[in-house]
């Protein structure tokens, strides 16, 4: 029980740090923030408050779902702890990508997502070698 609380705290803490970074960057962020890309160009924008806090809210809701939903309606590769930690890391990473783009840094967003895919692959390898 205590280990799961620590994992929850680390995951939510990472997401909270990303949201707090948005508060620090608030004056520099545009009123309409790009949050989704199709190829190399953004194709979806939201108001700044949603761009800064929306992903945090979705991340916390996902952690709650993973922890509270019955096993019959979810599948957490490697168990709930690694899945929750993965959610926290991915949400913080993606939030950083969103901030960087909206601050004017241009890069291939597809390449910026590669670490997420590598992490997902590692989670699957962990789950299969662990026997879950």
Residue 49 CA to residue 1 CA, distance in Å, equals 34
Beta-carbon contacts of residue 110 (< 8 Å; ≥ 6 apart): 39, 40
For residue 108, give the 3-state DSSP assignment: coil
Chain mean position to CA 37: 16
The residues near 97 (Cβ < 8 Å, ≥ 6 apart) are 109, 112, 113
User: How far apart (Å, rounded) are the C-alpha atoms in residues 58 and 125?
Assistant: 26
pLDDT 10s per residue in the chain (132 long)? 557 889 999 999 999 999 999 999 999 999 999 999 987 789 999 999 999 999 999 999 999 988 888 876 767 666 788 889 999 999 999 999 999 999 999 999 889 889 999 999 998 888 888 754
- Do the beta carbons of residue 10 and residue 21 sit within 8 Å? no
Report the predicted TM-score, pTM, of the whole model to 2 decimal places.
0.88
End-to-end CA distance of the chain: 19
- The residue written with tokens 């957490």 in the block is 76
Closest alpha carbon to 77 in 123, 115, 122, 8: 123
Residue 27 DSSP one-character state: G
pLDDT given at position 83? 86
């Amino acid at each position: 029980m205590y280990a799961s609380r620590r994992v929850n705290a680390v995951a939510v803490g990472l997401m909270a740090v990303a949201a707090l970074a948005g508060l620090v960057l608030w004056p520099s962020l545009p009123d309409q923030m790009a949050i989704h890309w199709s190829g190399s160009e953004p194709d979806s924008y939201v108001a700044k408050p949603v761009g800064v806090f929306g992903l945090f809210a979705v991340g916390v809701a996902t952690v709650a779902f993973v922890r509270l939903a019955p096993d019959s309606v979810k599948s957490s590769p490697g168990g709930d702890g690694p899945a929750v930690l993965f959610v926290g890391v991915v949400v913080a990473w993606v939030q950083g990508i969103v901030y960087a783009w909206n601050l004017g840094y241009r890069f291939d967003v597809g390449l910026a997502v590669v670490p997420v895919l590598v992490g997902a692959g590692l989670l699957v390898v962990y789950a299969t070698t662990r026997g879950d």
